[in-house]
Every structure is written in structure tokens, then in C-alpha cells.
């Protein structure tokens, strides 16, 4: 079986970490009987340098023709790179917004998983971190407050700004369905987060999520107010499986959840549309300060590739094999610089990719 994958190596450490993810995918393909076929496209600064724009229409068409997109990261040093002297719509990050829109990626998935071996990096109290946690935040990405009508006016010398938060039931239903489907592949629990005690949009959110839940009797649904959820994430993160929420709440909660894991180089992410198609990328940026030095941690990108196998290709066993290989390498004490602690063996980006690929079985 061939897997058609478009790759966006991007800028900074992007090409180094994507190379490791490809290596791991190739090995998983050998073991589990599939063949990844990659087509690379330029995006971000790399595309600006060649085409003068951060993403060409041809590159979008190539991405659309694939079954999934695997990305490194884009962007440069925002204070020094000439890319940031360009108008905002021609800067590297504009490419990312354009591809998300062109591919209709409305569901953002961010896992926050605490590895036992990295529990020391968790800023929570030991009695909390000792329980471990494995949370998937599912955030609506194309609606709500960030996309509603807004204006700033001056009335009688007083400046007044308005933002609007609108969701229709179809937008809520499609993300809720994704949330329940993903929970089915995990621990069968959805915590839907809203502010239904105040907001109409949240009351509709809650009602539609309840309707969708009827089709998933095997999945437990609970509702939680967003302020409580922010507290529970630091008090008892082990209680969560899938957290399903709207755009702004998800923006804030996913950053909070990832920070409690303590290690930026470990955090994968996915953005999905209503088919199996998705864009998979690490949560971190292009780390221009360490680009080209072979010291970046490739694990977030490798784990993003595992998510791609699970959610775009239904290759769950191969995804688990990659996740187990990552865990095994950590257990054996290998660390890149960002997650290094005394007594471990420090390795570079390429070596980390080799070690993980070798342990896939």
C-alpha cells in the first residue's frame, strides 16, 4: 500500500526534523507493509527565497493531491531575517494561514502526554505528575471569536471595540463528531468545555454535543466550564482523555496543557478536515537559533508522523510502534539537549532519529 504524503520541510530546523520523521516512517513501512511516497513542497521563508511568496498555488495543489501533509516548521528570526521586512501577507507565517484555509482544516488536535521518563520536566507537584497524563485537546480552528465580525469605533470621544463569537450548529456538529471518533481510538471519554452558564454560543455548543453523543453510546461525555477546566488541568490532569472545545478556549487550554508536560520538543499536533486528510506538524517553531547544528529534538515531528498514520491512514498498529519506540529510546536514557538531564546520554537530531527507527518492531 502506498501512502501519498506531501512534505513541507520549511525553515530553520524544519528540514532536519522532517528528515528524521521520514526515516522513521520508512522503517515503520518496512515492518508494517506500507510504502510512504513523499513529494516535497516549499513553504515559508524557503518559498519566499525561490518564488517571492510564502506559498504558491501550485504548492497548494500538490498538497491537495496527497492524502496527508507532514510539516516541519516555518519562519526565521523575526528580529533579523529579511523575511520580516516584507508586508504581513508575504511573510513566512502567511503561508501557514493560507494552507490551513485552502485545506479547510477546522479541527486542531494537540496531545499533551507526560512520559514517565521526563516527569522531572513537569512543573506540577510530584504527587500529581506521578499519576502521569495523556490528554488530547481538540480545538475548533476556523470559527468563533477569532473569525467573527469585529470593529473599533469612537463614540462621544470614547473608543469602543467589539468582537463577535458566532457558531452555527453545523460547525459544532462536525468538530464534535471528530472529537467522539478520536475518543473511540483512545480511552472513550470526551470532556466538552464551554461557558454555558454565560454564553449563548456555549449553550448551543452543549446542546449539539449532546445530540452527537447519542451516536456514540460507548463514549462517556461530561461537560465542564472553561474556568474549572483551566484549574483541573493543573490539579488533576490524569482525569482527562479528549477535551473538546471551541477556538479561543482551545487556544488557551492547549498551551496550558502542553506547558504542564514541560518539554516543547516533544509536542505533536494535527489539523484535520472533514475527510481523513490532515496536516501534521510539531507544536514548536523553526528554532532558528539551533538550525543546521544537528541538535534539535525530532520527537515532536516523529510523533506527528505517528498521528498521521493513526488518523489519516488508520494504521494504528504502526502508530503505536512509533510511539513505543520513542518511549523505549527515552527509557534507555537517550536525550537531545532540550530534554537532557544528568546521567542520560546526549545525542543529536540525526542520531535520535536513527535510534527511534531502529527500535520499531
Q: How far apart are CA 252 and CA 229, in angstroms?
A: 11
Residue 77, CA distances (Å) to 11, 18, 87, 208, 297 in order: 10, 20, 16, 43, 19
Among the listed residues 9, 29, 54, 76, the single contact to ligand NAD using CB under 6 A: 76
192 is a contact residue toward ligand NAD (CB under 6 A): no
Among the listed residues 47, 73, 261, 304, the single contact to ligand NAD using CB under 6 A: 73
**Shortest Å, Cβ 286 to ligand NAD:** 4
307 is a contact residue toward ligand NAD (CB under 6 A): no
Instruction: Tell me whether residue 190 or residue 266 sits nearer to ligand NAD (CB atom).
Output: 266
Q: Is the dihedral of CA 331, 333, 334, 335 positive or negative?
A: positive
93 is a contact residue toward ligand NAD (CB under 6 A): yes
Stretch that binds ligand NAD, among 142-150, 168-176, 194-202, 282-290 (CB under 6 A): 282-290
Instruction: Tell me whether residue 142 or residue 192 sits nearer to ligand NAD (CB atom).
Output: 142
110 is a contact residue toward ligand NAD (CB under 6 A): no
Helix, strand or coil, per DSSP, at residue 277: coil
Helix, strand or coil, per DSSP, at residue 222: strand
**Shortest Å, Cβ 333 to ligand NAD:** 18
Query: Which DSSP letter does residue 273 get?
Result: -
286 is a contact residue toward ligand NAD (CB under 6 A): yes
Instruction: Tell me whether residue 3 or residue 295 sits nearer to ligand NAD (CB atom).
Output: 295
Instruction: Tell me whether residue 110 or residue 171 sits nearer to ligand NAD (CB atom).
Output: 110
294 is a contact residue toward ligand NAD (CB under 6 A): no
89 is a contact residue toward ligand NAD (CB under 6 A): no
9 is a contact residue toward ligand NAD (CB under 6 A): no
**Residue among 310, 308, 294, 284 at smallest CA distance from 353:** 294
Q: Is the dihedral of CA 123, 184, 35, 65 positive or negative?
A: negative
Stretch that binds ligand NAD, among 19-27, 74-82, 168-176, 311-319 (CB under 6 A): 74-82
Q: How far apart are CA 95 and CA 75, in angstroms?
A: 10
**Residue among 93, 17, 69 at smallest CA distance from 266:** 17
**Shortest Å, Cβ 26 to ligand NAD:** 20
Place of cell 494504528: 316
Helices 349-358 & 14-32, crossing angle to 10 degrees?
Answer: 10
Instruction: Tell me whether residue 199 or residue 259 sits nearer to ligand NAD (CB atom).
Output: 259
338 is a contact residue toward ligand NAD (CB under 6 A): yes
290 is a contact residue toward ligand NAD (CB under 6 A): yes
Q: Which residues are catalytic?
A: 146, 195, 227, 251, 255
Cβ neighbourhood burial of 308 (10 Å; 0-12, 13-18, 19+): buried
244 is a contact residue toward ligand NAD (CB under 6 A): no
Residue 59, CA distances (Å) to 37, 88, 134 in order: 16, 20, 35
Binding site for ligand NAD (CB under 6 A): 13, 73-76, 78, 93, 96, 264-265, 281, 284-290, 296-297, 300, 338
Amino acid at each position: 500500500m502506498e501512502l501519498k504524503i506531501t512534505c513541507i520541510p520549511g525553515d530553520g530546523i524544519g528540514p532536519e526534523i522532517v528528515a528524521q520523521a521520514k526515516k522513521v516512517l520508512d522503517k515503520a513501512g518496512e515492518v508494517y507493509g506500507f510504502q510512504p511516497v513523499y513529494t516535497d513542497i516549499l513553504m515559508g521563508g524557503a518559498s519566499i527565497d525561490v518564488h517571492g511568496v510564502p506559498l504558491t498555488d501550485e504548492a497548494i495543489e500538490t498538497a491537495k493531491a496527497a492524502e496527508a501533509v507532514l510539516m516541519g516548521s516555518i519562519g526565521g528570526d523575526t528580529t533579523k531575517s529579511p523575511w520580516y521586512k516584507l508586508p504581513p501577507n508575504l511573510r513566512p507565517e502567511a503561508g501557514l494561514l493560507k494552507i490551513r484555509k485552502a485545506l479547510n482544516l477546522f479541527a486542531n488536535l494537540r496531545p499533551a502526554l507526560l512520559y514517565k521518563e521526563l516527569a522531572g520536566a513537569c512543573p506540577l507537584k510530584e504527587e500529581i505528575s506521578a499519576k502521569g497524563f495523556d490528554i488530547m485537546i481538540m480545538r475548533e480552528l476556523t470559527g468563533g471569536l477569532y473569525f467573527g465580525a469585529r470593529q473599533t469605533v469612537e463614540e462621544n470621544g470614547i473608543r469602543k471595540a467589539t468582537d463577535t463569537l458566532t457558531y452555527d450548529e453545523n460547525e459544532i456538529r462536525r468538530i464534535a463528531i471528530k472529537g467522539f471518533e478520536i475518543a473511540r481510538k483512545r480511552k472513550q471519554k470526551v470532556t466538552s468545555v464551554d461557558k454555558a452558564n454565560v454564553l449563548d454560543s456555549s449553550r448551543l455548543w452543549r446542546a449539539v454535543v449532546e445530540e452527537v453523543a447519542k451516536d456514540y453510546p460507548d463514549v462517556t461525555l461530561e461537560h465542564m466550564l472553561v474556568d474549572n477546566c483551566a484549574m483541573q488541568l493543573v490539579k488533576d490532569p490524569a482525569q482527562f482523555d479528549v477535551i473538546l472545545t471551541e477556538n479561543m478556549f482551545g487556544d488557551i487550554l492547549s498551551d496550558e496543557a502542553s506547558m504542564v508536560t514541560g518539554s516543547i520538543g516533544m509536542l505533536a499536533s494535527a489539523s484535520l478536515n472533514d475527510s481523513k486528510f490532515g496536516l501534521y506538524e510539531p507544536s514548536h517553531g523553526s528554532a532558528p537559533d539551533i538550525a543546521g547544528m544537528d541538535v534539535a529534538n525530532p520527537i515532536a515531528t516523529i510523533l506527528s508522523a505517528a498521528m498521521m498514520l493513526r488518523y489519516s491512514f488508520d494504521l494504528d498498529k504502526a502508530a503505536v510502534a512509533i510511539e513505543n519506540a520513542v518511549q523505549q529510546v527515552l527509557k534507555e536514557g537517550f536525550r537531545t539537549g532540550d530534554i537532557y538531564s544528568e546521567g542520560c546520554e546526549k545525542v543529536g537530531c540525526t542520531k535520535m532519529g536513527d535510534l527511534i527507527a531502529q527500535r520499531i518492531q
